[in-house]
Structure 1
Amino acid sequence: MFSPWARLSFAVFAVSWGANQFAPMQLVYREHLGLGSGSFAAMLGSYIIGLIPALLYFGRVADRIGRRPVILAMVPVSIVSSVVLLLGAELPLLLYLGRILAGLASGMAFGAGTAWMKELSAGAGVGARRAAVSLSAGFGCGALFAGFIAQWLPAPEVLAYLVHIVLMVVALALVWSVPDGHVPRTVRGSWRLSVLSSPRFRWGVVPWAPWVFGCATVSFVTLPPLVSDSVSDVSIAFTGAIAALTLLTGALIQPWARRIARHGETVGIRTGVGIGVLGFAAATGTAYTDGPWAVAVIVAAAILLGAGYGILLISGLVAVENTAPADELAQSVAVFYCLIYLGFAVPFAISLAAPHVGFGVCFGAAAALMCVGVMLGRTVPSSARLDERALTHPRK
């Protein structure tokens, strides 16, 4: 029988699959529904409407009453989101609702699931690595398989979502009996989180956190359309494959990233930023190449940006684990996820700026801003750089 953490890992994987299965479907909906790129971008972004409130609210609920009730309630929400998206093939307005529900399910899963994974895992940083791998693998596989289904199988606007529904049913069966050892709070307390009072978090994590998904989303949202003429026959599958390459690279690099984190959080953060900068440098090459060379450049950029995403994701989760009290862990992780999801705005900002200054300048500016974000952590006064145990609340 699978271990408890592995069963929980599958549930996080499955809901992450559902969060990203929509990404490669743009050309499908353009053909079947006449959907423009602006409408699709709005549908893709409506996910945030459900995600952010759910992260903040259900992270707190998970710390109050336990992790298991939140995860069990998440599964039917995720299933309903795919049912609604499936019905959206006939009524496009339902696509917005389906994306909002997918965000709600993700928000319920990510904070509670990451905190629960830590409690089911022995060893510093092991839970963070397992959660990051589950999330990244789900994101990557959801985009990959939805892209392949949309490219080559019949009725993709239905079949892609049926696959996810089956995965969530399996996830419910697996996670049903996973033990929850979290001890809920016995006092009401305030909404103030200890992690937000930590200079190490405010200066050492917050400034660069949006670049976790900033790297990933530029890779699979901004880059594939730049070579659409070169891959026109398989453009849907190519978009899904680039998303999968980016996110699965982020998952596969996690064991190495955790070893880096053992040398200190800042080592992992600087390594992730450095690789992300190299990824943006490679992306800049798309402005000066075309044809097969441009495709090769995008593949290289996807690997580098995926590696940067993966290292930064686990570095941030480890930083939160080391800073947050045990009875605030799910909420603190939820705050970190809210910050990294701000990175979804980066492709939109690039789309506005690129017609005026060019993609090369945009990618260069992104790399510079990443460096500025990590350098801000060095401005924390030495008096604020407390011993790690002093930063951790005694209740942990």
Structure 2
Amino acid sequence: MPLSHTPTAQVAAPAATVAPAPRHWLRAGGLMAASGWSANQYSSLLGAYRAHLGLTAATTTALFAVYILGLIPALLAGGPLADRLGRRRVALAGLGVSALATCLLMTGPAVPALLWPGRFLTGVGAGTLLTAGSVWIKELSAAPYGTAPTPGAAARRSGLFLSAGFATGGLAASLIAQWAPHPMVLAYVPHLALSAAAALSAARAPETVPARAPHTGAAGPAAPVHRVPFRRLVVPVAPWVFAGPALAFAVLPGLVDARLHGWQTVYAGVVTAVTPGAGLLVAPLARRLTARHRLATAAAGLLVTAAGLLLGALAAAHAQPAAALLAAALLGAGYGLCVAYGLTEVAALAPPHHLAGLTARFWAVSYLGFLTPYGVTVLSGAFAPPAILTGVAVLALLTLAVLLRPGARHSAPLS
């Protein structure tokens, strides 16, 4: 009788381990969506803060930028923490900080000074989530947890979840702010609900870092192997991941909203949805370009970003909201291509024990692009906005020239 149970157990066991595998990375993906949502819900409310709280354009863009002051240290610390303590623990801690930040932002109408720590902690939570969450999704996408065909495909999934959060967070906040009472309080409620749902889902995903992983001698010498190609191939492109979207969110709407007559907040929300939405739509193109050569994805991203900036300059010169919306779509497409390139390159360069750390460096350099709107605000005292946007487009093209210089063209196609 015991013998008759043995084959059944042996046959059933593989089915039990294989069937749920594709769902694990989806459970963790909600964390990345929540991160994107938290970062972008404020972006579509810039006009509302100026109108209802009397904040100046310089103050709102400074609040936009202070996010980076919390994000970059969290990114750099989150990678080593995720390697030591595990992906799930660090990612859930980042989600908790992000929810706390949202609560502080909700108190802004009553105590405007709390907007500053709210935005700072938004950056801390997002940085922690980006590092731990993106690596966790990549690992859950690969064997033995998932079935992603290549490391690059697994790495790009976190960027798709992030884009989905970016696209929906800003739009939802703007629609609530346009028509609901207490707009700068209720606009943040959806993020709290999403965070709770993401935490419940991610808690069921397996941890991919073994408990108390031993420190082997292999970890030390592996670091210099990827340092030089990272500087040559990733660092030049990384700031353009968010430079274009940040300009689309924080600068373009304010340059063309004179003709919108009461629809400024909704328009800003549409921009914050269209920009990362375009990044999602170019994902198939990014896969095809990456299959040919990874640098092709970066080159396309920089070219599209430059085109979006030039169109944005034209839209600003003539105060054309429709042209600015098309420019935002191009900037979003550039974002999608650049982030796909960066995550794919990092996945190819980093050994497993350095993946979280190198991913953190990529996101840290990428988020420097969020400082661009503040730079535009500072320069606008001496130059017209269309001239500034044209100058930024020239910088994107110069970056492309640096990337394609002979010394950097050794990057091989993905196998």
For 1:65-214, what aligned pairs fall within 5 Å after superposition? Answer: 65-121=85-141, 122-124=148-150, 125-183=152-210, 185-187=213-215, 194=223, 197-214=226-243
Query: For 1:105 and 1:196, how far apart are their aligned partners in 2?
Result: 30
Identify the match of residue 311 of structure 1 among 326, 329, 337. 337
For 1:1-396, what aligned pairs fall within 5 Å after superposition? Answer: 3-121=23-141, 122-124=148-150, 125-183=152-210, 185-187=213-215, 194=223, 197-290=226-319, 294-379=320-405, 381=407, 385=410
Match of 2:10 in 1: none
1:387–1:233 Cα change, 3 Å: closer
Conserved? CA contact 2:226–2:349, under 8 Å: no
Conserved? CA contact 1:210–1:340, under 8 Å: yes
Match of 1:392 in 2: none
Quick check: 25-34 or 123-132, which moved more? Answer: 25-34
- TM-score, normalization by structure 1: 0.91
Conserved? CA contact 2:252–2:316, under 8 Å: no
Conserved? CA contact 2:235–2:365, under 8 Å: yes
Q: Deviations over 1:182-238 (max 9, x none)?
A: 346411878998278533221122122211111111112111111121113110111
- TM-score, normalization by structure 2: 0.87
Query: For 1:280 and 1:103, how far apart are their aligned partners in 2?
Result: 26
Q: What is the RMSD computed on CA atoms of the aligned residues?
A: 2.3
Query: For 1:114 and 1:158, how far apart are their aligned partners in 2?
Result: 30
1:365–1:182 Cα change, 3 Å: same
SS of the residue 2:382 aligns to = helix
Unaligned runs of at least 5 residues, structure 1: 390-396
- The residue type equivalent to 2:102 in the other structure is S
Query: For 1:347 and 1:322, how far apart are their aligned partners in 2?
Result: 32
Query: For 1:153 and 1:285, how far apart are their aligned partners in 2?
Result: 34
Query: For 1:349 and 1:192, how far apart are their aligned partners in 2?
Result: 39
Unaligned runs of at least 5 residues, structure 2: 1-19, 142-147
Shift of 1:115: 0.7
Query: For 2:407 and 2:92, how far apart are their aligned partners in 1?
Result: 43
Query: For 1:55 and 1:196, how far apart are their aligned partners in 2?
Result: 21
- The residue type equivalent to 1:350 in the other structure is V
Q: Deviations over 1:302-355 (max 9, x none)?
A: 111110111001101100000011111111111011111111122222223344
1:282–1:335 Cα change, 3 Å: same
Question: Highest CA radius of gyration, 1 or 2?
Answer: 2
Conserved? CA contact 2:37–2:168, under 8 Å: yes
Conserved? CA contact 1:203–1:380, under 8 Å: no
Quick check: 166-175 or 36-45, which moved more? Answer: 36-45
1:95–1:7 Cα change, 3 Å: same
1:360–1:39 Cα change, 3 Å: closer
Conserved? CA contact 1:140–1:244, under 8 Å: yes
Conserved? CA contact 1:195–1:323, under 8 Å: no
Conserved? CA contact 1:134–1:251, under 8 Å: no
Q: Deviations over 1:122-179 (max 9, x none)?
A: 2222222211111111112111111111111111121112111111111111010101
1:192–1:348 Cα change, 3 Å: farther
